[in-house]
């Protein structure tokens, strides 16, 4: 690829097996400060790493944000995970150019795993789009590593993310893995484990004997019911949230400036963000699917 990237991260690994098989794509560093995916980039680059069939491509999506002079940043002004629509990609920014450059290669993928981490919460989850049913099937196969899957309706209040884009064929599953808290070693371990599970699910490697920790929880599916975007700001939480914390109908769970945010039904707070100003994405609420 011709997009020269300076900094510590080489931006792509491409591994091919002699035997034919599907192409698995793993995207890391869509947000430059979410470094858990670097463990996967390193694992795939290791000389001892091999796949039995098919092709594995690992792409560092926004290495410029990772290599920012002041240290890794989520983005450099434009969130690369909010521009995955035809209209947004017409913009002439570095992020849009990078996505346009990568799309032809990405369109060859049979399945995509998108590795992320979170600023505050530890509790891992998978995220899929309600408009892309194949993604839920893949998420089930990854449930031994991350048992919580969150199904998102089409974004109304924010730009289009990669997992819900129309720019990739709807038959291709795309699963986001939120691997834990930014920069924690545990998040890197989860990223590696879900990566191995992904390779097994696509049969790029033989299923191995259990050699990594497997969760004991049953897989549970949740649906996003509300994404809170600040109208006033800043966000203040009524109590600390560690991820998927239950909130009862009628409960005040946070404040948008001086305005109390009240739960309209029994639900869980999936994650909270450091939101300050009107328009900032603040909280995501979900309900357990029956």
Rounded Cα gap, residues 112 and 109, in angstroms? 7
What is the x/- site pattern for Zn ion, positions 106-145, by CB under 5 A? ----------x-----------------------------
Residue 256 burial class via C-beta count within 10 angstroms: exposed 0-12, middle 13-18, buried 19 and up: buried
* Interaction between residue 98 and Zn ion (CB under 5 A): no
**Total residues in contact with Zn ion, by rule CB under 5 A:** 3
Cβ closest to Zn ion, residue 116 vs residue 192: 116
* Interface region with Zn ion, contact rule CB under 5 A, candidates 11-19, 23-31, 83-91, 243-251: 23-31
Cβ closest to Zn ion, residue 205 vs residue 228: 228
CA 184, distance to chain mean position in Å, is 16
Minimum distance between the CB of residue 124 and Zn ion, rounded to whole angstroms?
13
Rounded Cα gap, residues 188 and 192, in angstroms? 6
* Interface region with Zn ion, contact rule CB under 5 A, candidates 31-39, 44-52, 232-240, 268-276: 31-39
Cβ closest to Zn ion, residue 16 vs residue 184: 184
* Interaction between residue 31 and Zn ion (CB under 5 A): yes
In the window 33-62, what residues touch Zn ion (CB under 5 A)? 34
Nearest CA-CA partner of 34 in 115, 111, 104, 127: 115
Coil vs helix vs strand at 37: helix
User: What Cα–Cα distance (Å) separates residue 171 from each residue in 58, 112, 199?
Assistant: 20, 11, 18
Q: Which residues bind Zn ion (CB under 5 A)?
A: 31, 34, 116
């Amino acid at each position: 690829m011709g997009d020269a990237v300076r900094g510590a991260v080489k931006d792509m690994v491409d591994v091919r097996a002699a035997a034919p098989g599907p192409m698995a794509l793993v995207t890391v560093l869509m947000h430059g400060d979410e470094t858990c995916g670097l463990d996967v980039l390193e694992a795939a680059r290791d000389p001892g790493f091999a796949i039995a069939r098919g092709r594995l491509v690992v792409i560092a999506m926004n290495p410029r944000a990772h290599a920012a002079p002041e240290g890794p940043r989520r983005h450099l002004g434009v969130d690369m995970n909010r521009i995955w629509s035809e209209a947004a990609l017409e913009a002439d920014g570095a992020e849009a150019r990078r996505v346009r450059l990568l799309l032809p290669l990405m369109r060859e993928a049979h399945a995509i795993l998108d590795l992320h981490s979170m600023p505050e919460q530890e509790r891992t989850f998978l995220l899929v789009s309600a408009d892309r049913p194949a993604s839920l099937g893949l998420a089930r196969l990854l449930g031994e590593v991350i048992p919580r899957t969150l199904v998102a309706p089409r974004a109304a209040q924010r730009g289009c993310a990669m997992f819900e884009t129309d720019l990739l064929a709807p038959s291709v599953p795309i699963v986001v893995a939120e691997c834990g808290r930014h920069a924690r070693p545990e998040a890197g371990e989860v990223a590696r484990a879900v990566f191995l599970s992904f390779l097994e699910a696509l049969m790029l490697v033989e299923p191995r004997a259990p050699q990594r920790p497997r969760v004991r929880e049953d897989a549970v599916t949740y649906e996003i019911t509300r994404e809170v975007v600040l109208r006033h700001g800043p966000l203040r939480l009524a109590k600390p949230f560690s991820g998927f914390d239950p909130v009862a109908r009628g409960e005040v769970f946070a404040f948008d400036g001086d305005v109390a945010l009240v739960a309209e039904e029994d639900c869980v707070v999936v994650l909270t963000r450091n939101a300050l100003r009107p328009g900032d994405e603040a909280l995501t609420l979900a309900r357990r699917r029956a």
